[in-house]
Amino acid sequence: MSGLGRFLQFMPNEYVNSIYDIDLERLWRMGKRLILTDLDNTLVPWNHPWVPKSLEDWLKRARDRGFEVCIISNNRSQRVHDFSRVSGLFAIGAARKPRSRGFRQALERFQMDADAAVMIGDQLFTDIHGANRLGLYSILVLPMHTKEWWGTKILRIFEAVALAMLRVRGLKRPHRQQQGGGGFGR
């Protein structure tokens, strides 16, 4: 595989500003029934403990449409468990993405095949790469906030190079918009 071709393993199926820009109806028509999502800087800012009203509303729309929703996070299990409790979502913490264990655990838990699932996340090397390896539909979102774990900050340097290579292959970066009611911004 050529140098540029190697970056295609990180190419998301979609790249959007935030979860609020995802067309749930279109995903449903595509046969998707399970939404797997990262937690930090995808649903809420890093280590944020509560569920904002905008996220509650989005989750309600997804569930009302018939989607199952599951958090898959690399953050420590206790943080993920605490957020799972306040959000009412099933969650897998310390998932070690891009490894497949957490993804497979979620698919088994909801008795879904990979082609019925979508993975939403803010990181190419963990969320998108892990999803692509298993044949999940992948959606990259812009990170909600600049505050992150130090290891993620280091990965962002390499991610910037990968994103530049993917832009050569046609990936279009969404324009940052004001968050709809989440109050987090960047």
Residue 147 falls inside a structural domain: yes
Residue 155 falls inside a structural domain: yes
Please give the pLDDT value at position 167: 75
In this predicted model, which residue has the larger pLDDT, 47 or 117?
117
Of 4-13, 54-63, 133-142, the range with the lowest mean pLDDT is: 4-13
Q: Order of strands across the sheet with 68-72?
A: 14-16, 137-141, 117-121, 34-37, 68-72, 90-92
Residue 181 falls inside a structural domain: no
* Run of H or E including 15: strand 14-16
Please give the pLDDT value at position 149: 67
- In the structure encoding, which two tokens stand for residue 56, read together? 């509650």
Residue 54 falls inside a structural domain: yes
CATH number at residue 64: 3.40.50.1000
Contact status, residue 30 vs residue 65, Cβ threshold 8 Å: no
State the Cα–Cα distance between residues 85 and 79, nearest whole angstrom: 10
Contact status, residue 113 vs residue 107, Cβ threshold 8 Å: yes
Report pTM: 0.84
* Residue at token pair 């595509």: 30
pLDDT in tens, 88-119: 999 999 999 999 999 999 999 999 999 999 99
In this predicted model, which residue has the larger pLDDT, 152 or 39?
39
Residue 182 falls inside a structural domain: no
pLDDT at 132 over 90: yes
Residue 98 falls inside a structural domain: yes
- In the structure encoding, which two tokens stand for residue 137, read together? 């539909």
Residue 70 falls inside a structural domain: yes
The tally of domains found in the chain comes to 1
Q: Would you call 91 exposed, middle or buried from its count of C-beta atoms within 10 A (0-12, 13-18, 19+)?
A: buried
Residue 178 falls inside a structural domain: no
* Residue-number span of the structural domain to which 77 is assigned: 3-168
Q: Exposure string (b/e) for 24-41, b if CB count within 10 Å is 16 or more?
A: beebeeeebbbbbbbbbb
